[in-house]
Every structure is written in C-alpha cells, then in structure tokens.
A and B are shown apart, each in its own frame.
Chain A
Amino acid sequence: MTSPADVAALFDGARLTLGRHLAGLRKSDLAALIDMSPTAVAAWESGAKRPTAGTVAKLALSLQVEPGFFAMRPDDVAALSTTPHFRSLRSTSQLARDQAFAYGQLAVDIATSLERHVEYPEPDVPSVPVSVEGADGDGPERAARRVREHWGIGPGPVGHLVRLLENHGVLVVFSSPRGASVDAYSFDSRLRPVVVLNPVKRDYYRQRFDVAHELGHLVMHSDAEPGGRTVEDQAHRFAAELLMPAAEIRDLLPATMNAAAWQTLARLKEHWGTSIQALLYRARRLGVLSDVSYRNAMTTLTARGWRRNEPGLLTVLEQPSLLPRAVELLAQEAIGQPLLIQQCRVPPDLFRTVTARVPLPPPPAPAPDPRHVVSLLALLLRQVADRLVCRSPIQKSGRGGIPYPIATPKSMIRSPPSGASTAS
C-alpha cells in the first residue's frame, strides 16, 4: 500500500477529479467533507497546488479509496479520451454524466493495467464519418453496411453482438448498478473504443439494439458534437440497418396488423434478435407499415404491458468477456485478483464490477432514486458493514480500529437540478 506521504509527492490532480466524479461530488461537496475551501480542491485538481500528506489521507478517507489511487501513473488515459456520447443529455445531470464517464475511464484504466499481462484483439472499428447536416441522406445506413462488409458479417442476423465488438477490439463493460440513471454510452479512448452498458434493463433484445446504437456513434461520430437529436437519430438508423438490413427484412415485415402479424413479429424477433418495438419501428421507417397501423400496434403493446417488458425466449443478456477472460487467464497463472487490484490501484468493488461477466446485483431495496447521484466508491464498505451488522449485534469497526463510515454521508447524495428527470 502506498502511504499518504509517498502519494503527496506523486499526487496527480486528474486522479482526484476522477475519484470525485466517481463519488458523485461537486468540488464544493468534497471541500466541505474535508473542511477545506473549494478553491483548494480546484487547485489540487488543476495541479496548481499539491496537497499535504495529511490532506491526501483525508481525501482518501472521504472518497473511500486507498491513498495510492491519487498517485501519478505513466499513462493518463482520462485526458486522452473523447467526450462520450450520452443519450438524453438534457435529462441527465452533469454530475451523473461526470460519474458515468469517470467509470468508463476507470474501465480503460483497468484494461490498460491488465494489458501488461494479456493481449486483447486489436481495435478494428472502421471510421465512416456521417455529416450531422445531411440528415436526409442515407449515411447511417451506408455506414452500417460498411461495418457488415468490413467485419465479414454476411447476410442474415448478426450473432453475439457484444462479442463481435470485442473481437474487433472494443472494450465492453457493464456500468455499476448505482450509476444506472445513465443509459448505455460510448467513447473512444487512446487505446480502444469503449461501450458501457446499462445493467438495469436486463433485456437481451433491447441491449443488442443499445450496443448497435453505440457502435454507430463510434463508427460515425468521432468528431460530432454528442447529444444532438440528429446524432442520436443517426445512431438509431445505423443500429436498425446493422441488425435488420432493409434489403433482407423488408419483405418479411407485416404490412397490416392482425393476429398473424403478431406471430410473424414474434418469430422475426427471435430470428433477428431485436425487439418487436424495433421491428415495428423498422416496418414504419421502411414504409411497409402505415403510420396508423404503427400507432395502433404501439397502443396494443402498451395495453399488454410490453412497452417495458416484451415477451421473448432469451432471458440472458449478451455478456462481455474481454476483462473477465483476462482475469480468469491470470488466475490460472496464479495472478489473483488482490494483486491485480493492487496493480490497478482501484477500489476492489469497482474492479469486480468492471471485470464482471454479468451485471452485479443492484443494491438492496429500497432502490435509490435514479435522479440522485450516489457514490460508486461507498458500495463495498456498505456491503461489508451490512454483513457485519447482520452477523453480530455489536457493530464492528474496520481494520486498525478506525471505524468505517457505515452510511454514505448525506452530502454525497445530491438532489437533481430542477427540471431533471430520469434518462430514458
């Protein structure tokens, strides 16, 4: 373990920003926690000033990380990543976006750290920039066809989409169940493109569409300003063409809605691995289904409660494998998780979340209000504390007799800015 004194000498302001973002705190919140001024926090983060060993210890305690977390490292991937593409920018608070992005950067950090021991597939995502101005052209569809061709997908449904991305060097991870208010998002780091999946949807078909949508951003929008309506619409069109190429699916889609049409949709859903809603949208977009029929079909979906929970045979999500596989391979070589966690200098709980094949279970009820930004760093300690409380009526203290904070400080839970709502 690195001591606060060692870290003070090697202090990296960007790491403090990362830690603060993970904790979902504003500069002023963090300043209040350690009884210092927001200006001091700003100065440490910008590198204008260096905190003392004592302050490093306080920062570590407040953010619930090891002091070594703040130490400078050879590659600062954080500074080299592009701005991520978040959907519903207007309804996602800046704090939530900062937290989500910090999580993505941490994932890159972990991947980089493991890359010293393992080799991943080389990044091979074609770049097909599509102008945001020419919204009426068929740029997104051409980009999707280009990807199918470049990756040798061939006609028919795309197989395991997450694996397809991974096999072409994209890092795919599930986000923390705590940061679930943000939808899936993507960004390009210096090392490889990254897609972070929302763990809460738990729908095989919708997740595939999300992954295809994010791939669309990575392929088309490396230079585009994120968050615009056109950019999002283009990513949707890309996803639809990638998963359900117009030339192949047009003749299979129902032109009128009746009992047989629903059966057809259920069959197409299983064959193409896309939701009935996506198929209906596709049918309307391709002009196979009239606007009236589409609206009626959507009303039926709503009435049946399928808008949020469509019936489908596959109940298991596509799972990422890049980091879990690396961790497993290293375990077989007697390089266990504790050592890797030490090397990555990340909180163990976040390491496990980032390297998991399946989304970790959401925190126990009551579920947090998705509009609130809760620290991603406090989860493990809370779980440990909960276990201790369950086992013994006497509340135990942490190592070294210093009691860990059991609950997240109230100041860490922020109310959303007025007008904010849950991301779709």
Chain B
Amino acid sequence: MKRYLLAAVYLGDMSEQEKVIAEFGGAGVLAGVRWAHESATRRALESYCEADGHDIAWLGNTRFTLFRDRLDRVFSCGRYAVIGDDGLDLDVLYAELSDQDMMSMPRLAPGLVRRADLHGSAGWAYRDRRFLLSSGEFGRLDTLPWLQKSLTKQLVAMQRNPDVRQPSLFEDFVADDLGAIDPALLAADRDLDLATYIVGHSLDADSGETELVFGRPRLNLGGGPAWYWRESLLSVPLASTGQRTGPAAPVPVDASWVPDAPVRLRRAQDLAQ
C-alpha cells in the first residue's frame, strides 16, 4: 500500500529493533498484541476476587490463559481460525468479549499471523519471525532472569544478536557463567528455526498498572539487562478499530504506524568534540 512508502524507504539501514518494530507495527501485529494484552488484563482483574480464594498465582495463570486466547482471536488462530469458505463465526469470535474489547479489536486479515509454538510454549509468527510470551515481576522486566524461566525461554534468550557489528565483551558468554546453564542448552544450536522474540508482560495487581514490551531477549547470566533491545507496546495505537464484518473486510492494516524518526545516542567522541 502506498501509505507505507516511508517505512519502505527507511528499512535499508535500520537496526534489527527498528526493522522488526516497523514490520510488526506496520502490519498491525503489535496493535493486535496490545489489544490482546489489554483485553486479557481487564478481564483477569475483573474476575479476580481474593474473597473467593484467588491469589496472585491464580491471577498470573488466568492472565496468561486469557492473553493466549485473545491473541488467537485477534490473529484468527487456533479455535478462531477461519476454515474453508464459511468465513469467521463472529458469535464465536466475540463470545464473552466486552463492548470495549469488540470495538477496539484491530481488524487483521486471517492468516496474517499463524500459531508457531516452540517446544510446547505458545507462540505466534508473522512472516519469518516468531514471538513467545513471558511474564515478569512488575517494574523488573528489564532484568527478567531468564535462567529462572523454562528451557525454551532460555533457548530463545541464547539466540545470537544480529546487531552486534563488532566483538563485544557482552555478546558472548563468560566462561565462568557457563556452569549455571543447563547442559541441554549448551548443546543446542543458538539459531532457532525462526528468529524468535519475546513479548514480556507484567501487572501490578494493586494499582492495575501494566508493562508490555516486545524485544530480543538476552541470556543474562549473573544478572544484567534481559534484552538486547526491547520496545514498549503500551503506546502502540490500536489503529483501525471497529467490528469485523467478515473475511471480506478490507485488508486491515495499521496505516498510522511507521518507525520513529532516526534519533541516535551521541557517542563519547561526539561529546568530546
């Protein structure tokens, strides 16, 4: 579509972060993730009742289950997949959703995103990039300890960072830290079948505040940053809203999303001049 001309022009010399965010953002995938996250969090908090015996573990579990369900809905995957020529069964798609959820659900073409689980972890893929979900403690997503997560997540965090242009102390693992890693991981290939990213999410149950990021995880042995890069999705617009009318609806893409202007950090030598 011509409206993406700018995005196309600037894709050439972008970092992986800019490229991935531009691709996923331009196609409306990020808007879908944000919608799913908001819908799931809202419903989980509405249902949460300490008097009924619910606890934080219940909330975490419910939120994950609903997040997975909402992602399947917005991307027409799993039980919401469109089969044959019958089109979408809107009754199923909208079942139990609030009016707000229905109105704000981005209209994405079925097939745009597909389910792509990895070793049993729920995953979705757009083109040749996959994302999995991982929750964390509110306020600490940036230091999310991958070693305490499943082997699959550790495997994802072990992928090579394509943005490294020169050798760096931080890129490869320090020998001393290797003891902490599961031997199965050490033996594994650091390149997965699809470049895989993580959608990190967290909730402060008291205030209802949330965090939602999309990024390339970094296996942070001995602490340190949990991401090579990550982008907050909380400000991603839920662009083209409105109810679905069926599979024949115009291809619904988030036309308002293009990469940020190329702002870059000054290096030490810039400042010295």
**Which of A127-135, A157-165, A215-223 is the interface stretch?**
A157-165
Residues of B within 8 A of A285 (CB): none
State how many angstroms separate the Cβ of A242 from the closest Cβ of chain B: 14
One digit per residue, 1 when the CB lies within 8 angstroms of any chain A CB and 0 when it does not, for chain B 3-20 equals 111110110000000000
Give the contacting residue for B235; candidates A121, A318, A358; CB below 8 A.
A358
Asked whether, in the complex, the Cβ of A118 is within 8 Å of the Cβ of B265, the reply is yes
A167-B262 CB under 8 A given contacts A157-B3, A313-B240, A315-B239? yes
Q: A118-B263, A358-B235 are in contact. Are A167 and B10 (CB under 8 A)?
A: yes
Interface centre among B258, B263, B271 (most CB of A within 10 A): B263
Cα distance A121–B261 when bound, in Å? 7
Q: List A contacts of B262 (CB < 8 A).
A: 121, 167
The digit string for A308-347, where 1 denotes a CB below 8 A from any CB of B, is: 0000011111110110111011100100000000000000
B261-273 near A? 1/0 per residue, CB < 8 Å: 1111110001100
Contact residue among A271, A321, A358 (Cβ-Cβ distance under 8 Å from B261): A321
Q: Are B239 and A316 in contact (CB under 8 A)?
A: yes
Q: Which of B6, B260, B261 has the most chain A CB atoms closer than 10 A to its own CB?
A: B261
B-side contacts of A326, CB under 8 Å: 263
**Cα distance A321–B265 when bound, in Å?**
15
Number of residues of chain A lying within 8 A (CB) of chain B: 38
Complex Cα spacing A329 to B18, Å: 13
A330 and B266 CA atoms in complex are apart in Å by: 10
Q: Is A159 in contact with B264, judged by CB distance below 8 angstroms? A: no
Residue A351 lies at the interface, judged by CB distance under 8 Å to chain B = no
Shortest Cβ gap from A41 to chain B (Å) = 39
Q: Chain B binding site: helix, strand, loop or mixed by DSSP?
A: loop
List residues of chain B with CB within 8 A of the CB of A154.
5
- Residue contact A159 to B265, C-beta cutoff 8 Å: no
Give the CA-CA distance A316 to B3 in the complex, in Å. Answer: 15
Known contacts being A163-B6, A163-B261, A357-B235, is A315 close to B241, with CB within 8 Å? yes
Select from chain B the residue with minimum beta-carbon distance to A166: B261
Query: Within the complex, what minimum Cβ distance (angstroms) separates A212 from chain B?
Result: 15
Residue B242 CB within 8 A of the other chain: yes
Q: How far is the CB of B105 from chain A (nearest CB, A)?
A: 13
Report chain B residues within 8 Å CB of A314.
Answer: 239-240, 255-256
Chain A contacts for B260, CB-based, 8 A: 163, 321-322, 324-325
Q: How near does chain B come to A272, taking the closest CB pair, in angstroms?
A: 9
Q: Which residues of A contact B239 (CB under 8 A)?
A: 314-316
With CB as the reference atom, state the residue of chain A lying closest to B3: A159
* B191-243 interface (Cβ within 8 A of A): 232, 235, 237-242
- Please give the distance in Å from B117's CB to the nearest CB on chain A: 30
Chain B residues within an 8 Å CB radius of A152: 9
Q: Given A313-B240, A315-B239, A316-B238, check contact A120 B261 (CB 8 Å).
A: yes
Q: How many residues of B contact A (CB 8 A)?
A: 30
Within 8 A of A (CB), among B73-124: none
Asked if A404 CB lies within 8 Å of chain B CBs, one says: no
Question: Which residues of chain B are near A190, meaning CB under 8 Å?
Answer: none
Shortest distance in angstroms between A268's beta carbon and chain B's nearest beta carbon? 13
> Is B2 located at the chain interface by the 8 A CB criterion?
yes
- Report yes or no: A119 in contact with B5, Cβ–Cβ below 8 A: no
CA distance A160 to B258 in the complex (A): 7
Q: Residues of A contacting B261 with CB < 8 Å?
A: 120-121, 163, 166-167, 321-322, 325
A159 near B6 (CB under 8 angstroms)?
yes
Contact (A119, B266) CB under 8 Å given A314-B239, A321-B261: yes
Is B235 a contact of A204 with CB atoms below 8 Å?
no
- Which chain B residue has the least Cβ–Cβ distance from A164? B6
- Minimum CB–CB distance from A147 to chain B (whole Å) comes to 14
CA distance A88 to B237 in the complex (A): 31
Residues on B with beta carbons closer than 8 Å to the beta carbon of A245? none
A132-153 residues at the B interface, CB under 8 angstroms: 152-153
Across the interface, do A329 and B237 meet the contact criterion of CB distance under 8 Å? no
Residue interface bits B110-148, CB-to-A below 8 A is 1, else 0: 000000000000000000000000000000000000000
* CB-CB nearest 5 A-B residue pairs: A316-B237, A321-B260, A166-B261, A159-B6, A156-B2
18 further contact pairs, Cβ within 8 A, besides A160-B256, A315-B239, A321-B263? A118-B263, A119-B264, A119-B266, A152-B9, A156-B2, A157-B2, A159-B7, A163-B260, A167-B6, A271-B2, A313-B240, A314-B239, A314-B255, A318-B256, A319-B237, A319-B256, A321-B261, A330-B265
